[in-house]
Structures are given as C-alpha cells and as structure tokens.
C-alpha cells in the first residue's frame, strides 16, 4: 500500500474539486465519488477532508452552495462554481500542468 499511493499535496484537493464542479452543480457525495472513480483509487482522499475543503472554498467564494433535491428526491446541498472559482480553476490548472511537466521531466532524466 504505502509508496504506491500519492499523498495529496496541499491545494491539489481544491483543484480537483473545482475541476469536478466544472460539469455542473454537485453535492458532496457526488464530488467524492467522482474523484474516487476518476483517480481509480490512486489518490486516497478522506471524505472528511473533502467536506472541509468544500466549506472552506465556499467561505472563500470559490464555490457557492444551495439546497436542492437529489436524483432520488432527497434534500441535498449542492455546490457550484462561482465566476471567481472558474478563474481560479483556469489559473491553477495551468500552474499545476507546468509543475507536473517539470517534475516528471526531472524524474525521467535519472
């Protein structure tokens, strides 16, 4: 187990959440599931940390929340991107890609 899983870098979780919400409003559970499925369990994210991140981002105005009805007709809290969040996503994605490219280039030269 250890060594094969990546520890999540600070701020990366935010980026993943922003990316998740780009398709449209989601509740917390859906975000968690989507990240889990997409990363195929490569990233182990505690859902508690995920919710903490969601609420922090709401406070910072990156996303906003609203209560609505879920697919199975239950009351759920939906998050969606704000304009500010969308801008952040663009900016951070670019930074992240450049960073990842640089790191992997260094690693490949060994």
Partner 1 sequence: MSDGPFRRLFRLDRSRAGIDRAVDDELRFHFEMSLEELMAHGLPPDEARREAERRFGDVPGTRARLSRIDRDRVEHDRRREWWSALAQDLRYGLRGMRRSPWFAAAVVITLGVGIGANATMFGIVDRLLLRPPAFLQAPGRVHRLYMARTIDGKPLYNGSLQYRRFRDIAQWSTAFDRVLTYWDSKTVVGRGADTRELTVGSSNAALWSMFDVRPVLGRFFTDAEDRPPSGTKVAVLSEAYWRSRYGARRDVLGSAMWIGASAYTIIGVAPHGFAGMSLETPVAFVPITAVASDAIAPMVQESRPWYDTYHISFLRIYARRKPGVSARAAEADLTTTLRRSYLAQADEQPAIVPIERALPRGIVSAVQDARGPEPGSGPKVAVWLLGVAGVVLLIACANVANLLLARALRRRREIAVRVALGVGRARLLRQLLAESVLLALLGGVAGALIAQWGGAVLRAVLLPQVEWTSTITDVRVLLFSAVVALGAGLLCGLAPALHAVRADVADALKAGQREGTLRRSVLRTGLTVAQASLSVVLLVGAGLFVRSLQRVTTVHLGYEADHLLWVSPEMRGVQLDSTGAEQLRERMLERAQSLPEVASAARGVTVPFFFSWDVDLFVQGIDSVARLGTFTLQAVSPEYFTTMGTRILAGRGIGPEDRAGAPRAMVVSEAMARTLWPHESPLGKCVRVNADTVPCAYVVGVAENIKRSSLGDDPGLHYYLAIRQFALGAGGIFVRTRGPAERAAESVRRALQREMPGAAYAKSTTLSSLIDGERRSWQLGAVLFAVFGGLALLLAGVGLYSVIAYAVTQRTHEMGVRTALGARATDVVRLVLGEGMRVAVIGLVLGAGIALVAARWIAPLLFEEPPRDPLVYAGVIVVLLAVAALASWIPARRAARVDPSAALRTE
- Judged by CB under 8 A, the stretch of 1-9, 14-22, 28-36, 87-95 that binds partner 1 is 28-36
SS3 63: strand
* Residue 27 in the binding site for partner 1 (CB under 8 A): yes
* Residue 11 in the binding site for partner 1 (CB under 8 A): no
* Residue 24 in the binding site for partner 1 (CB under 8 A): yes
- Phi and psi dihedrals of 56, rounded to 5? -65, -40
- Phi and psi dihedrals of 109, rounded to 5? -70, -15
* Residue 33 in the binding site for partner 1 (CB under 8 A): yes
Out of 2, 3, 67, 110, the only residue in the binding site for partner 1 (CB under 8 A) is 67
* Per rule CB under 8 A, count of chain residues that contact partner 1: 28
Please name which of 33, 31, 22 lies closest in space to residue 93, comparing C-alpha atoms: 22
- Judged by CB under 8 A, the stretch of 6-14, 20-28, 88-96, 99-107 that binds partner 1 is 20-28
Task: Report whether 62 contacts 14 (CB < 8 A).
Answer: yes
């Amino acid at each position: 187990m250890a060594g094969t899983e990546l520890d999540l870098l600070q701020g990366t979780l935010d980026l993943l959440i922003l990316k998740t919400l780009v398709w449209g409003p989601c509740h917390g559970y859906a975000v968690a599931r989507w990240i889990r499925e997409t990363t195929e369990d490569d990233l182990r994210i505690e859902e508690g940390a995920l919710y903490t991140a969601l609420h922090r981002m709401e406070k910072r105005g990156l996303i906003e929340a609203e209560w609505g009805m879920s697919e199975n007709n239950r009351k759920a809290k939906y998050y969606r991107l704000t304009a500010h969040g969308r801008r952040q996503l663009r900016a951070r994605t670019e930074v992240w890609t450049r960073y990842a490219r640089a790191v992997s280039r260094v690693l490949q030269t060994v």
